[in-house]
Amino acid sequence: MVTGIIGRKIGMTQIFDTDGTVHPATVIKAGPCIVVQAKTASADGYEAVQLGLVEERPAKVGKPLAGHYKKANVPPTRVRREVRLAAGGDAVTPGDRVLVSIFADGERVDVVGVGRGKGFQGVVKRHHFAGGAATHGSMFHRAPGSIGASSFPSRVVKGMRAAGRIGGGRITIRNLKVLRVDPQNHLLIVQGGIPGAPTGYVIVRKAVAAKKIKVAQVEKPKKGKK
């Protein structure tokens, strides 16, 4: 059984419950996807599938990738991602379709994406340094301070926190709750925010370590009280 799907982040919205509770939510266009390659334990050492995201705009690929898709007998796609298979599921073959209906309302999922890049930043923004005094006469405001001793070890040790590029890395948000599933429009609405900017590609998979959903319990009145 395929445990994940490729999607694109559309944007954020709000979902209201029947009792008026509001949930911040993210809308994802998940799929449709097609299986490009099936990996087996005997041949590859693990079980997984390579998925391709079917989009409205046709994809242009080079000769090596064209042969890869021709072997699977599927049309080329711009985006490919690998997703693990659940143990004990049905066999998957190239050409099978993977739809958003693999998820259900109330289920827990993990969303994997690439966060927004924030460019070159100083230590205050990048590592949350406090900085120096902001009063008149101070000449130490947002500088990093000392980066090591001069006598020993007489060098800057590895791992020293300094200014540099921030953001733009792979981020996984775990245990997001599925609020709505729309199979007709291939839409998935999850609670909270997810990595990346709108139109960015993400992988939505079944939660690896799913948290139990708490059920609201009605408190019973104590004896002697009405």
The predicted model gives 167-181 an average pLDDT of 92
The predicted model gives 199-209 an average pLDDT of 90
How deeply is 141 buried, as exposed, middle or buried, from its count of CB atoms within 10 A (0-12, 13-18, 19+)?
Answer: exposed
Confidence of residue 72 (pLDDT cuts 50, 70, 90): confident
For residue 20, the model assigns a pLDDT of: 87
| Nearest residue to 155 via CA among 147, 143, 163 | 147
The predicted model gives 63-67 an average pLDDT of 88
List CB contacts of 193: < 8 A, sequence separation 6 or more.
Answer: 12, 24, 26, 173
169 with 115: CB under 8 angstroms?
Answer: yes
Does the pLDDT of residue 87 top 90, yes or no? no
Can you tell me whether residue 55 is helix, strand or coil?
A: coil
Give bridge partners of residue 203 from the DSSP assignment: 6, 112
d(CA 77, CA 202): 15
Q: Are strands 201-206 and 187-191 parallel, antiparallel or unpaired?
A: unpaired
End-to-end CA distance of the chain: 52
| Nearest residue to 168 via CA among 107, 215, 126, 226 | 126
The predicted model gives 208-220 an average pLDDT of 66
Confidence of residue 1 (pLDDT cuts 50, 70, 90): confident
d(CA 15, CA 27): 10
For residue 55, the model assigns a pLDDT of: 87
d(CA 226, CA 222): 8
For residue 10, the model assigns a pLDDT of: 94
The structure's pTM equals 0.79
> Within 13 A of 91's CA, how many CA atoms are on the CB side?
4
The predicted model gives 126-135 an average pLDDT of 91
For residue 224, the model assigns a pLDDT of: 64
List CB contacts of 143: < 8 A, sequence separation 6 or more.
Answer: 123, 131, 132
d(CA 163, CA 122): 4
Among 63-67, 123-127, 197-201, 221-225, the minimum mean pLDDT is found in 221-225
Confidence of residue 174 (pLDDT cuts 50, 70, 90): very high
| Nearest residue to 174 via CA among 111, 218, 127 | 111
**pLDDT, tens only, 23-55:** 999 999 987 999 988 888 888 888 888 999 988
The predicted model gives 168-180 an average pLDDT of 92
Among 18-27, 147-156, 159-168, 206-215, the minimum mean pLDDT is found in 206-215
